[in-house]
Structure 1
Amino acid sequence: MDLGSSLSIATSGLNAIEYELSVTSQNVSNSGTTGYVSATANVSSAVAAGQGTGIKIDATTLNISPTLQKALYSQNAQVASLTTTSNSLAAVSALQGSTSADSGSTDTLSDLLGNVQSALTSLTSEPTDSTSQSTVIADAQSLTSTINTLSSTYTTQRQTAEDSVVSTVSSINSDLTTIGSLSKQIMTLKAAGADTSALENQRLGIMSDLSSDVSVTFSETSSGDMVVRTADGTELPTRPDQIGQSDTGVTLPSTTWPLSTSDSTVTADSYYAAGDSNSSIAGITLNGQDITSHLTGGTLGANITLRDTTYPQMQAQLDSFSSTLMTRFSNAGLSLFTNGSSTAQGTSTTEETPNGIVGLSAALSVNSTYVDTPSLLTTDSSGSTGSITAITDVLGTAFGTSSADVSGSLAAPSDNLGPTGNLSTGYSGSQGLVALATALTSNQASTISNASDNLTSATAVQTTLQTSVSNVSGVNVDDEMSKVVALQNAYTANAKVVTAVQSMFTALLDAIN
């Protein structure tokens, strides 16, 4: 082996060390970057014609466990979903009060209804007392006001969820098409044998963001492309060419492709149903096909569920209770509660008030006749004052719990609820008014509590997974600094070889001259 070969080998060593040092430097500088995957500089011995020719720089690899990474993405989606749900339901929780016996709460529906019952009971003892009469009206108004507020909150939170669906679709589009753009660059570089680790790391970071918006999985092709799918396997294209279309039709990245949806104004009778031309809430489409049901998990999946399932059921429960409150009081001879209009209240469980009970809870009010003249509460049909017949009937039957008082037309609607008739209360309608109010609050409180409890558990699992992923993919600064010292020593040694060879060349040239 001649001096030229020795110099070439030493020089290749310096080049390799510079490469390894640059990778190490990149790791250290990104040690605090969320989602960054540490890289490993790979070198191997170069051999030509059976002789060593120095060091060959190989492709940089990322320290990643696909299995752990996919598990973390899945958990990210679950935590984001539960966080969105829990935060949204907090608005309802603040209004619901507590059904716990030791909570001291006086704000639940059953508490407020109990106040009306107590005021009516007191009125039977002093039927002509104006203060007692006014107390009944005031307590009834407190009850209807709380019902109105709850209904308004459901609608407001549904609208917030709908608005979030639209904005999240734009965010998902941006992430998908950014992944597609990066993949295109990666494939080009891979084909040329160039290093793609930095771009791959950037792509993984975008994928991590995407996993919080919707539940997704990914796979990589041999060419370096990334294929993204929903939890049920529906492919979400990152570039038009992935679905056989021309890339020239879309400028990447894009917030409007590949998914499409539109803004909707949500009311009590609004609903989403795939393929239903009467659906007032727009679905999410991909290449003209509605894929809303395939988009689960993450912020998007949570808001779809809140908008289409959680709040519609709560609304249906409250509408059912409002209808039953009106019906049982009227049946007892005291039409204390009305739908706020001059039109008689219909009983359809799928039509909007006043034809049906959908949205009734937002319109429920205390009959203005009694509000204007509270003494009519104890005035009989002949005009005689001080009558407690109607009050006694209300206390005995409207608040009754016997089969005759809670069954048949007096039972609270519990099935075939909502504008599409696909909702149910989740509890029996053959209960007394107070029991119905408690069942409603308990059912909704359980939904709220489950979201909070599940979030705590899911976050703990996420933390464990993050630790496991970090152990494989994270940057250990101490290890990286140890590499720096070793590379520094190797660089010094290789530099000395180069210096020695140069000295020998100089001596040779001097001897010749």
Structure 2
Amino acid sequence: MPLNALQTATAGLKATQTAIGLVSQNVANAGTAGYVKRTISTISSGPGNSGVSVGTITRSFDAAALKQLRLETAGSAYTSTKADIAGQVDSLFGTPGSTTALDGLVNGFTGSLQNLAANPTSAAARSTVLSTASNLANTINGIANSVQALRTGIESSLGSQTASASSLLGGIAALNVKIQSTTDDLTLADLKDQRDQKVTELSGYLDVQTTEQRDGTLSITTSSGVNLVTGGTAATLGFDGRTTLGANSTYSTDPDQRSVGTITATTPGGGKIDLGAPGVLRSGSLAANLELRDTTLPQVQRQLDDLAGGMASALTDKTAIGTVSGNSATVDLVSGQSGMVGLQVGNTITLPVTINGTMRNIILIASKGDTAPVDPS
């Protein structure tokens, strides 16, 4: 009996010592990023369950909270990336209402035209119109160039972020392999901490969903269902970026038509999936950068083009009277127009035509290639 009592006491002390050591480890790592609190279970042992021994050491965490953290991480990266570029675009347009902002320059130019209309013989008024017009044109051109520079910067950022995300996927797959072959509880907990930290970091780049398998490995897919990690294998992400982007650089699902880079996931079997296609990535900094490069900034460029085109049209459009003879009409577009150099690609001619008492406008657009005859119907 005394020997049994001593053995029981010794086992109890060992279990207590292990528990105290685990508590100390939890306290020491309370501020360590990615560390998850460990808990220990005890089991009865000895004759008649008279003793106690250390059971399994497990991590204690809220799986739902961890899932929400990753969703918020992806969402935060998405919104912050877009907000950063939006702020830079706002600075290009200037403070609304100021004389140096784009709207202020437009108002200044409009005011100079009104002044010239009231004083058509004034040399000073003419000089002011030319000066404000030149300043406005240079500003629009400068903003347009800066918008394309932002797109080029995003192209470069997509390349570096894609490489980082691919490295994380490979690291997660390698940890899956180690977790499969580890039997020590403390080592296993450390490996899972490292894996969780990499998955959370990965969620800053793209929206991910995780599923823990029975063997302890973690499978990772995007919200759209693209498999990125299965067991010890991971897809490799690549980006075929362009050095410089211009106003006509656009994304297309046809590689021959695409003039910007795209993110490609290459599976272990050699299959390739285009992650740059619309809707494949839905959150994270990669999704935000793709949307900024392919949608948001091109919209800004189109607004600038519309402004420049509208003002050019308002200042240069001319009216010519045609001569109708039988079933044909002749319109002289050159005679009497001093300095006219002819139509340029993209210029338009609007012909008001009355057919059976109904007025219709036929708009012809100057093209590089041959065009088909106008169908009167």
Counterpart CA distance in 1 for 2:347 and 2:25 is 67
Counterpart residue identity of residue 142, structure 1 = N
2: CA distance between counterparts of 1:348 and 1:266?
25
Shift in Å at residue 105 of structure 1? Answer: 2.7
Matched, 1:220 2:199: no
* Structure 1 segment 465-476 matched on structure 2, within 5 A: none
Cα distance in 2 between the residues matched to 1:45 and 1:81: 51
Matching residue of 2:250:
271
- Greater percentage in strand: 2
2-structure distance, mates of 1:323, 1:303? 28
Q: Which runs of 5+ in 1 are unaligned?
A: 243-256, 334-341, 350-403, 411-513
Instruction: Say whether the 8 Å CA contact 1:237–1:258 is kept in structure 2.
Output: no
The correspondence of residues 342-421 of structure 1 with structure 2, limited to 5 A, is 345-347=344-346
Count of aligned positions? 325
Q: Cα deviation per residue 1:217-263 (whole Å; 9 max; x = unaligned)?
A: 21111110001111222211266646xxxxxxxxxxxxxx6111122
- Per the normalisation by structure 1, the TM-score is 0.58
* Compared CA separation, residues 75 and 194, structure 1 to 2 (3 A): closer
Contact 1:176 1:238 in 2 (8 A): no
Q: Which has the higher contact order (CA 8 A, sep 6+)?
A: 1
| Alpha-carbon separation, structure 1, partners of 2:121 and 2:306 | 33
Residue in 1 aligned with 2:374?
none
**Which residue in 1 is equivalent to 2:276?**
292
- CA RMSD of the aligned region, Å? 2.8
Does structure 1 residue 77 correspond to structure 2 residue 67? no
The answer on whether the counterparts of 2:166 and 2:236 sit within 8 Å (CA) in structure 1 is: yes
CA separation in 1, counterparts of 2:41 and 2:205? Answer: 35
Q: CA deviation at 1:79?
A: 0.8
Are 1:63 and 2:88 matched, yes or no?
Answer: no
Alignment correspondent of 1:121: 114
Give, as a single letter, the amino acid of the residue that structure 1 aligns with 2:60.
N
In the alignment, what sits opposite 1:427? none
1:156 corresponds to: 149
Q: Does 1:260 align with 2:238?
A: yes
| Shift in Å, 1:181 | 1.3
The counterpart of 1:235, out of the listed 223, 227, 238, is 227
- The match for 1:424 is none
**Does the CA contact (< 8 Å) of 1:95 and 1:107 recur in 2?**
no
Secondary structure of the residue that 2:245 maps to in structure 1? coil
Q: TM-score, normalising length from structure 2? A: 0.78
Match of 2:192 in 1: 200
Give the Å deviation of 1:152: 1.5
Q: Which residue of 2 aligns with 1:17?
A: 16
Q: Is the 8 A contact 1:161 1:307 kept in 2?
A: yes
2:307 is equivalent to residue 321 of structure 1: yes
Q: What SS does the corresponding residue of 1:237 show, helix, strand or coil?
A: strand
CA distance in 2, matches of 1:174, 1:134: 60
Change (3 A) 1:156 1:53: farther
Unaligned runs of 5+ in 2: 267-271, 320-340, 349-358, 365-377
Corresponding residue SS for 2:49: strand
Q: Match for residue 311 of structure 1?
A: 297
**Counterpart of 2:142 in structure 1: which amino acid?**
T
What is the rounded CA distance, in whole Å, between the counterparts of 2:198 and 2:347 in structure 1?
49
